[in-house]
């Protein structure tokens, strides 16, 4: 199966993403996020895509986490989506910007209350002496907010990877895969096929 030619990688991503959503996969929005810190160390982890459009691909996290600190040092990232049951992969590379406070506030308000409290209680990526220590922090913040609204912490918010390169990969028999690469040049997308 070959990837059809098109001029808009975001539209193609939307079609593939809809197929992943429709395939009943667990966490079809899971993606690997790779960052490079100020010392040049590369790290990768799984995060969840929470939105995308022509401006980029959005995820949320604690800005004081290891990934948040790396993005502060070097605001560039790579993403990789892999849907093995569909024999598809999408890679995205680009600069990273924080989303607006309003956008972060809106998404935070949509999260389950326990996840909101967890955003306050977790000192993400820092050493934890014992799980009980974290559970006490959860209880402390649950008590602090009571039954009222849980505001978004200043250290928590969204990041948008603004794509400069997007590559689509379709598995082929005998390792004869199909690859279609898009590169942003002067505000427009240039595409080309790549050897497997």
Helices 131-145 and 113-121: crossing angle, nearest 10°? 120
175 as an active site residue: the answer is: yes
Give 60's contacts (C-beta < 8 A, 6+ positions apart): 50, 104, 107, 108, 156, 157, 158, 159
Catalytic residue among 91, 175, 179, 193: 175
Q: Which of 50, 47, 51 is nearest to 70 (CA)?
A: 47
CA 141, 145, 146, 150 torsion-angle sign: negative
Enter the tokens of residue 141. Answer: 């913040």
* Catalytically active residues, by annotation: 175
């Amino acid at each position: 199966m070959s990837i059809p030619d098109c001029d808009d990688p975001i539209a193609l991503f939307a079609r593939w993403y809809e197929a992943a959503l429709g395939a009943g996969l667990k966490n079809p929005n899971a993606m690997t996020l790779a960052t490079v810190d100020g010392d040049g160390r590369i790290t990768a982890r799984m995060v969840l895509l929470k939105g995308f459009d022509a401006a980029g691909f959005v995820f949320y996290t604690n800005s004081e986490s290891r990934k948040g600190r790396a993005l502060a040092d070097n605001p560039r990232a790579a993403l990789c989506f892999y849907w093995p049951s569909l024999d598809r992969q999408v890679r995205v590379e680009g600069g990273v910007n924080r989303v607006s406070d309003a956008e972060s506030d809106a998404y935070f308000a949509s999260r389950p209350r326990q996840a909101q409290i967890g955003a306050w209680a977790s000192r993400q990526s820092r050493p934890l002496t014992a799980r009980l220590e974290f559970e006490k922090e959860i209880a402390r913040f649950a008590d602090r907010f009571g039954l009222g609204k849980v505001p978004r912490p200043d250290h928590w918010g969204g990041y948008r990877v603004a794509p400069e390169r997007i590559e689509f990969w379709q598995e082929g028999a005998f390792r004869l895969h199909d690859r279609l690469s898009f590169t942003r040049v002067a505000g427009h997308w240039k595409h080309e096929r790549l050897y497997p």
